[in-house]
A and B are shown apart, each in its own frame.
Chain A
Amino acid sequence: MNAFKLKRIYRHGLQMMLAVTLVSCSNDDGPTPTPTDGEVFTLGLGVTTSEATTNYVLHTNDLMNGKLSLVNAGFLQDGYRDFTTVGNYFYSIGGLGLTDVNTYYVDASGEVAVKTGLNLVDRVSDAHDLDGSGKTLLAVTLPASPADGTEMKFMTVDAESNTITRTEKIAVDNKNFPIENEWMLHTGIAVRGDQAFQTIVPFDAVGWKTSKTNKTYVAVYSYPDFKLEKIIEDDRTGPAGAFGTRSGIFATESGDIYTISHSGYGYSQRTKDPAVLKISAGASEFDEDYLFKTADVSNGGRIVHAIYVGNNKLFATVSTGTQASQWADDNLKFAIVDLANKTITTVAGSPTFSGNGGRSFAAFHKNGKAYAAATVNDVLNIYEIDIPAATLRKGAQVDASFVGGIGQIK
């Protein structure tokens, strides 16, 4: 009883009721709309309360100054979401049960608008700009376990019309893939000419253990019909990418393809050193002369999350130190990885932070600048990274629990 001062609480209760009555009567002014002249950036933001995580899409003119707040701003998204940018479209994909697609863009009248109605039905393992042309979204759906389905689908969506233009399917079984009696994860896909290269990680869908960690596996498909041509393997390092990160494989302008193995986040065991492998332009086998052991170079470590930023370079978060457990995604620093020259440059002034685990890397780049977010001392901020100089500038503070995606629609 001592904990309460009854009288005061009763009075507070009444004041609260009064306040609530007043608030509920107040005019519904609505938020001040963000101007859509100039640049318009979009953020996929997650708000975690003690009960649940809710996702929102917020747009802003300025990623670098002030506070980005969701109070009376931002569009609520149903359920778990993934975010990706294709051209001037920002996609929010997910939902409660089914997988709906909300496509945000700036319409002819200069307003931020959304296209809805498209439903991919299955759980999306990956969705990104197919070839960097800003016209087509490639979505890969792979069930979480054979109980949920035994087919993997490759769907292409025309961004302009928001319609599915092609769906190809392949059975996920041990005839097609080297998974024996287990299941697999999709960890990345890259399209080059008439071929698509997909990194996979065999894993046990019941216990979520990874027992096959002695090889890198790449499934090679014909494109655009996604007929499986072959699986190529290399035992110089472990599987590329990890659960949910979509950072397993990248293609360069010249047609070289690199696979990124880190043996860190998402792996229940580590049997090989982290390394990058290469499939050279024109070839569809691993280049035996190329091996980039990422932990052995200066500033090295595990390349857990990355996006390709051009000129054989990745903008990445690199984890150092011992991997504490299967799901630890920490000790991260922003870095620029030069795949051709096999170097890692830590971004000067980069904070050390923890990642969002099984999510695609919330980052985008343009004009030599990359944008990403990190939480440091309980505060979430946007960072702008100068890619050539490997320096950073701290941007706007974000009043949300995490940034799930960043993009630009104008």
Chain B
Amino acid sequence: MVKIRLKWNNRQKKCLKWAILALLFLNCADSIAQSKVDTTVVDTLKPIKVEEVRVEGKTKITKIKEQAFSVNVIDAKQLYNSSVDLNQALNRSTGVRVREDGGMGSNFSFSLNGFSGKQVKFFLDGLPTDNFGSSLTLNNLPATMAERVEIYKGVLPVSLGADALGGAVNIVTRANSNYLDVSYGYGSFNTHKAGINGAFTDRKTGFTVRTNAFYNYSDNNYKVNVRPLDWETLQDGPEQEVERFHDSYRSIGAQIDVGVSGKSYADHLLFGAILSGNNKDIQTGVTMEQVFGARTSRSNSVIPTIKYKKSDLFLEGLDFTMYGAYNITNNHFVDTARLRFNWLQQTIPSSSAESSRSQLKNRDKEALASANLAYSLNDNQAFSLNYVLTDFQRKSSDVENPDNVTFLMPQGLRKQNLGIAWQTTYTRFTSTLFSKLYNLNAKSFEDVSTNNVPQYEQTELNRTHVGYGAAAAYFIMPNLQTKASYEHTYRLPEATELLGDGLYVRRNSNLKPEKSDNINLGVLYTVLSGGVHRLNLEGNFILRNAKDYIRQDQQQVQPVDRQYINVGDVRTTGGEAEIRYSWNNRLFASVNATFQDIIDRTEFLISENLTGTTRSPNLNYGFRLPNMPYLFGNVNLGTKIPTAGSDRDAISLNYSLGYVEKYYFTPNQIGSNNQDIIPRQISHDVFADYSLNNGKYVIAIECKNLTNSRLYDNYLLQKPGRSFFVKLRYFITQ
């Protein structure tokens, strides 16, 4: 631990005072909560569209929020008028950081309480979407397709069956039976966004059609500050502002379900498909020094689906749901231009490609199935059994590199998750106890050559692990709920990590899954409700003790034949707090903050090779993990003003502030004047909409990054400056 000196100078005293205040605040936040009747957790406290929320949304959201799990629920309805995608919506939630490389369609990393990559899993209506292709990631999906988004932190209900080490995000699509929602928007950088959502249900025959579709396009030609390289002298030129010139992005997608609902044999039985695709220009490498003018990638997915639900199957209280899908996704990456570009779009010839000549094609096929059986024994006891299967196979090829042995045989990974849970529900108390069985079957191939004659063999491996957990919530008072949850969870290795790829990665069949013990303690407190003033507070404490992270062995320095090893113990302690206030359904305000102390607990780096074991001290031991935001928050303010003469029309104005404290790309304590800093970011967004005829017609205007701040999420990759967006929306419902 850090020693505190006994003698304090003035500055330190001041710091101590602030620190104590901060702790008091967190403690206070921990001891407050909110009531059963008023728990609409929203990220932007925009005015509520009366019909949409009060009738059904609120009760569902309340129910989910009051589960014993630590869960944030984003009410997507509140975002329908804005242009945000689901990524941006999630980014305003506590514990979540979405870090983007640039504008629309850019690469992003999603982190939840410090876990990222494959440690956090994504679901669409409960079906895992990890392998759904880049046109169906959260930055493509408009908020209008979702009813709500649930963010489970660290502890997952068995209904979301996956090896999620740090939590999961579940997108729940809209379930209205009859509606049409059409929108189109245009904004800076030639950005277009369009969406159509609708459902039709014939009450007599039960015939049902549900659909949602989106279209996104942007030139992403925002201005950046760079030092263009002079091709003559190979010296960096003076800093100047240039427009991005090869960064356009287009994505299109549709989900259609057709079937019946309200039948004796099925609450619903829907056959459908998700179809999507994207085209992306690639402007830079990992820093903006490397400029591309012709590299592209594209992806398309075809996913036929079947959804079935039947309540009271065979006996009362036995509910069965099933979701099946077959995902066919193709990704194509092209680098064939024999040119090199600088930021001024000047080129020099290159002998092979912009960077590395490639026409890589990945053809992914994945069978997905999820089935859930829930049985309510009585009003207080319920059991549920959940099964999820994902069977993923990838075949790659590259006409530019036909001899690459890693393309030789397909890699396969089948995961099966079986979960069983027992729930008890009483007026003030709810709890669940659960266990999960993870089974993994990986297929790859291995270089078994004993001399220079290449020889490869198919390899296969099976693994089973058991996880478990519990969650409980208790209303101390009707307006004060406390929660606690715990899970011992796993992230299973990928096929390549376990079995190698025949060239770059060598098999490590001793690889263990990443594991973590996750604890959440939370309090929801409704200070004021029912009157003119409404005030809710929420506080959470999180603890994550993760071990055996799977990473490539950094100590093996050869260019090929490296291994993935279990290295990395990380402990996260943190707190999240949110305050929400509304006045007379006219003024809305919310503030949230997240602090997460993510500490590297890996004392030694141990590398094994043929000649023995090397052990070296980890110089980051005991320090914060670099390249991970640790303190961030959001402020949202909104007002709804009815227009004169009509109570069916209204204007709303909203302001939101995003804050991320500065953090470092590499270990901060090492090196002097560490320059690889992601500076403190403060962004201001404003948004106004005018809705007519009870929200049937909406026109909305939005300005993001109002002050034109230079924003970064990743090292030296500049994000867009100030931008404007106008959106028109038409919405009808029965």
Stretch at the interface among B374-382, B389-397, B617-625, B696-704: B617-625
Stretch at the interface among A112-120, A194-202, A218-226: A112-120
Given contacts A4-B543, A76-B674, contact A23 B2 (CB under 8 A): yes
Contact, CB under 8 Å: B15 / A50:
no
Contact, CB under 8 Å: A147 / B12:
no
Q: Using a CB-CB cutoff of 8 Å, which residues 576-606 of chain B contact chain A?
A: 595, 597, 599-600, 602, 605
Q: Using a CB-CB cutoff of 8 Å, which residues 384-432 of chain B contact chain A?
A: 400-401, 403-405
Contact, CB under 8 Å: A147 / B353:
yes
Asked if B302 lies at the interface with its beta carbon under 8 angstroms from chain A, I say: no
B18 neighbours in A (Cβ, 8 Å):
21, 25
Stretch at the interface among B123-131, B324-332, B555-563, B651-659: B555-563
Contact, CB under 8 Å: A54 / B672:
no
Chain A, residues 389-403, CB within 8 Å of chain B (1/0): the string is: 000000000011100
A326 neighbours in B (Cβ, 8 Å):
558, 561
Stretch at the interface among B47-55, B170-178, B246-254, B285-293: B285-293
Which residue of B2, B403, B554, B627 contacts A50 across the interface (Cβ within 8 Å)? B554
Interface of B is mostly: loop
Given contacts A70-B671, A74-B672, contact A401 B616 (CB under 8 A): yes
Contact, CB under 8 Å: B573 / A12:
yes
> Smallest distance from the beta carbon of B127 to chain A beta carbons, Å?
31
Chain B, residues 22-35, CB within 8 Å of chain A (1/0): the string is: 11001000000000
Q: How far is the CA of A245 from the CA of B654 in the complex (A)?
A: 61
Chain B, residues 1-22, CB within 8 Å of chain A (1/0): the string is: 1101000000110111011101
Stretch at the interface among A207-215, A250-258, A277-285, A298-306: A207-215
A48 neighbours in B (Cβ, 8 Å):
554-555, 605, 616
A10 neighbours in B (Cβ, 8 Å):
521, 541, 543
Chain A, residues 299-335, CB within 8 Å of chain B (1/0): the string is: 0000000000000000000000000111110110000
Q: How far is the CA of A3 from the CA of B601 in the complex (A)?
A: 15
Asked if A148 lies at the interface with its beta carbon under 8 angstroms from chain B, I say: yes
Asked if B356 lies at the interface with its beta carbon under 8 angstroms from chain A, I say: yes
Contact, CB under 8 Å: A17 / B597:
yes
Q: How far is the CA of A356 from the CA of B616 in the complex (A)?
A: 14
Q: How far is the CA of A58 from the CA of B156 in the complex (A)?
A: 47
Given contacts A74-B671, A269-B452, contact A25 B15 (CB under 8 A): yes
Q: Which residue in chain A gives the minimum CB-CB distance to B486?
A: A1
Chain A, residues 356-387, CB within 8 Å of chain B (1/0): the string is: 11110000000000000001001010000000
Q: Which residue in chain A gives the minimum CB-CB distance to B15?
A: A25
Chain B, residues 485-509, CB within 8 Å of chain A (1/0): the string is: 0100000000000000001000000
Q: How far is the CA of A401 from the CA of B235 in the complex (A)?
A: 32
A269 neighbours in B (Cβ, 8 Å):
451-452
A1 neighbours in B (Cβ, 8 Å):
486, 517
A149 neighbours in B (Cβ, 8 Å):
350-353
Stretch at the interface among A36-44, A91-99, A229-237, A286-294: A91-99
Stretch at the interface among B83-91, B94-102, B137-145, B607-615: B607-615
Q: How far is the CA of A171 from the CA of B352 in the complex (A)?
A: 12
A146 neighbours in B (Cβ, 8 Å):
352, 357
Q: How far is the CA of A148 from the CA of B526 in the complex (A)?
A: 61
Stretch at the interface among A26-34, A103-111, A129-137, A343-351: A26-34
Q: Which residue in chain A gives the minimum CB-CB distance to B350?
A: A149
Q: How far is the CA of A145 from the CA of B351 in the complex (A)?
A: 12
B558 neighbours in A (Cβ, 8 Å):
243, 326-327, 357-358
A53 neighbours in B (Cβ, 8 Å):
554
Stretch at the interface among B262-270, B662-670, B723-731: B662-670
Given contacts A21-B22, A22-B19, A50-B618, contact A70 B561 (CB under 8 A): no
Which residue of B234, B617, B666 contacts A76 across the interface (Cβ within 8 Å)? B666
Contact, CB under 8 Å: A96 / B551:
no
Contact, CB under 8 Å: B541 / A13:
yes
Q: How far is the CA of A144 from the CA of B602 in the complex (A)?
A: 33
Asked if B660 lies at the interface with its beta carbon under 8 angstroms from chain A, I say: no
Which residue of A25, A118, A354 contacts B611 across the interface (Cβ within 8 Å)? A354
Q: Which residue in chain B gives the minimum CB-CB distance to A71?
A: B669
A121 neighbours in B (Cβ, 8 Å):
229, 234, 340
Asked if B567 lies at the interface with its beta carbon under 8 angstroms from chain A, I say: yes
Asked if B79 lies at the interface with its beta carbon under 8 angstroms from chain A, I say: no
Q: How far is the CA of A30 from the CA of B671 in the complex (A)?
A: 10
> Smallest distance from the beta carbon of A215 to chain B beta carbons, Å?
16
Asked if A178 lies at the interface with its beta carbon under 8 angstroms from chain B, I say: no
Asked if A150 lies at the interface with its beta carbon under 8 angstroms from chain B, I say: yes
Contact, CB under 8 Å: A211 / B289:
no
Which residue of B227, B561, B616 contacts A378 across the interface (Cβ within 8 Å)? B616
Contact, CB under 8 Å: B2 / A22:
yes
Q: How far is the CA of A34 from the CA of B19 in the complex (A)?
A: 34
Which residue of B15, B26, B614, B670 contacts A47 across the interface (Cβ within 8 Å)? B670
Asked if B575 lies at the interface with its beta carbon under 8 angstroms from chain A, I say: yes
Asked if B236 lies at the interface with its beta carbon under 8 angstroms from chain A, I say: yes
Contact, CB under 8 Å: A150 / B352:
yes
Given contacts A76-B676, A327-B561, contact A50 B549 (CB under 8 A): yes
Asked if A60 lies at the interface with its beta carbon under 8 angstroms from chain B, I say: no
> Smallest distance from the beta carbon of A35 to chain B beta carbons, Å?
15
Q: How far is the CA of A210 from the CA of B560 in the complex (A)?
A: 13
Contact, CB under 8 Å: A72 / B561:
no
Q: How far is the CA of A3 from the CA of B26 in the complex (A)?
A: 25
Asked if B358 lies at the interface with its beta carbon under 8 angstroms from chain A, I say: yes
> Smallest distance from the beta carbon of A37 to chain B beta carbons, Å?
19
Of the candidates A49, A75, A330, the one having the most CB atoms from chain B within 10 angstroms of its own CB is A49
Asked if A297 lies at the interface with its beta carbon under 8 angstroms from chain B, I say: no
Q: How far is the CA of A330 from the CA of B612 in the complex (A)?
A: 10
Contact, CB under 8 Å: A50 / B568:
yes
Contact, CB under 8 Å: B234 / A119:
yes
Contact, CB under 8 Å: B235 / A17:
no
Q: How far is the CA of A78 from the CA of B289 in the complex (A)?
A: 11
Contact, CB under 8 Å: A3 / B517:
yes
Asked if B355 lies at the interface with its beta carbon under 8 angstroms from chain A, I say: yes
A97 neighbours in B (Cβ, 8 Å):
285-287, 289-290, 355
B355 neighbours in A (Cβ, 8 Å):
97, 148
Asked if B646 lies at the interface with its beta carbon under 8 angstroms from chain A, I say: no
A74 neighbours in B (Cβ, 8 Å):
670-672
Given contacts A78-B287, A325-B610, contact A73 B671 (CB under 8 A): yes
> Smallest distance from the beta carbon of B583 to chain A beta carbons, Å?
32
Q: Which residue in chain A gives the minimum CB-CB distance to B20?
A: A18
Contact, CB under 8 Å: B285 / A51:
no
Given contacts A14-B23, A21-B15, contact A47 B551 (CB under 8 A): no
> Smallest distance from the beta carbon of B173 to chain A beta carbons, Å?
36
Which residue of A16, A148, A163 contacts B352 across the interface (Cβ within 8 Å)? A148
> Smallest distance from the beta carbon of A151 to chain B beta carbons, Å?
5
Contact, CB under 8 Å: A56 / B671:
yes
Contact, CB under 8 Å: A50 / B567:
yes
Asked if B321 lies at the interface with its beta carbon under 8 angstroms from chain A, I say: no
Q: How far is the CA of A118 from the CA of B289 in the complex (A)?
A: 12
Q: How far is the CA of A51 from the CA of B12 in the complex (A)?
A: 34
Q: How far is the CA of A36 from the CA of B664 in the complex (A)?
A: 29
> Smallest distance from the beta carbon of B608 to chain A beta carbons, Å?
13
Q: Using a CB-CB cutoff of 8 Å, which residues 686-714 of chain B contact chain A?
A: none
Q: Which residue in chain A gives the minimum CB-CB distance to B3?
A: A19
Asked if A206 lies at the interface with its beta carbon under 8 angstroms from chain B, I say: yes
Besides A3-B545, A70-B671, A207-B503, 10 new A-B residue pairs in contact (Cβ under 8 A), listed by A number: A6-B519, A13-B597, A17-B573, A49-B667, A50-B554, A50-B567, A74-B670, A76-B670, A208-B559, A358-B558
Query: Chain A: residues with CB nearer than 8 A to chain B?
Result: 1, 3-4, 6, 9-10, 12-23, 25-27, 30-31, 47-54, 56, 70-76, 78, 95-98, 100, 116-121, 143-151, 163-164, 171, 206-211, 243, 268-269, 324-328, 330-331, 354, 356-359, 375, 378, 380, 399-401
Could you name 8 residue pairs across A and B whose Cβ atoms are closer than 8 Å? A50-B551, A75-B671, A76-B674, A150-B352, A206-B404, A243-B558, A327-B558, A359-B557
Shortest beta-carbon contacts, A-B, top 4:
A97-B290, A25-B15, A13-B573, A97-B285
